[in-house]
Amino acid sequence: MTDIALLVDRLVDAHRRTPPRRLPRRVASAALLGAVVTLALVFTWGLRPDLAAAIATSRFWMKLGFGAGFAVAGLGGLLVLFRPEPAAPRRLWLAGLPVVVIAAAALQEAAAAPQGELMALWMGRSALICPFAIAALSLVPTAALTIAGRRSAPTRLRLTGAVIGLASGGIAATLYALHCPESGMTFIATWYLTGIALATLIGALTGPRLLRW
């Protein structure tokens, strides 16, 4: 047995003897800290002026649910990836649910929209800002979850980094929705998803370096 394999076996054994609730608490605490700081940043940007009216619409809750779905799937995956065991993070399939739901809503919206309005629904007023704003906001929860990962023992560092980015992008998209006035489903399906994808890419690129132990 190589030294690396022996080290991994020891880490697995140590994690099996770790109190079972410690890792979920660590992940939850990091996610909560990242969300609180991100929410404070969103407040500095300003909430959308029609927030009270928007809360009464289903589109607003679909937008929140879209980001939250990625956050839940990503955090569930980290509960596996933060351990040195080779088990597959099966909960990641949940990330497909918000994509399916929002894609169906976007197709329905596009089919019902007059021909001349489809481009306006797709681009909205902030298409060139939205994905980069979500990616920027994701950096705070990414930092918090990366610190939590370094206190754990992940062995698949690039995948773990990508899933940290996925969860962080979901958190950022959910909270950014409080600021963003866009309500088009085609807009959300394109630009929110692009922002979350950027956050995932950032995590995948930085994970091997920042999570190394």
How far is it, in rounded angstroms, from Cα 180 to Cα 15?
42
**Cβ of 205: how many Cβ atoms within 10 Å?**
14
DSSP category for residue 93: G
Domain ranges of the chain: 21-210
State if pTM tops 0.85.
yes
How far is it, in rounded angstroms, from Cα 157 to Cα 77?
13
One-character DSSP codes across 104-158: HHHHHHHHHS-GGGHHHHHHTTTTTTHHHHHHHHTHHHHHHHHHHHHTS--S-HH
Rounded to 10 degrees, the C-alpha dihedral 124/190/38/27 comes to 160
Q: What is the pLDDT along the chain (213 residues), one digit of tens a residue?
A: 455 555 555 555 555 555 557 899 999 999 999 999 999 999 999 999 999 999 999 999 999 999 999 999 999 999 999 998 777 777 788 888 999 999 999 999 888 888 778 888 889 899 999 999 999 999 999 999 999 999 998 999 999 999 999 999 999 999 999 999 998 999 999 999 999 999 999 999 999 999 987
Helix (H, G, I), strand (E, B) or coil at 88: coil
Instruction: Specify the amino acid at residue 33.
Output: L
How far is it, in rounded angstroms, from Cα 129 to Cα 122?
14
Can you say how many angstroms the Cα of residue 125 is from the centroid of all Cα atoms in its chain? 23
**Cβ of 170: how many Cβ atoms within 10 Å?**
30
How far is it, in rounded angstroms, from Cα 179 to Cα 53?
13
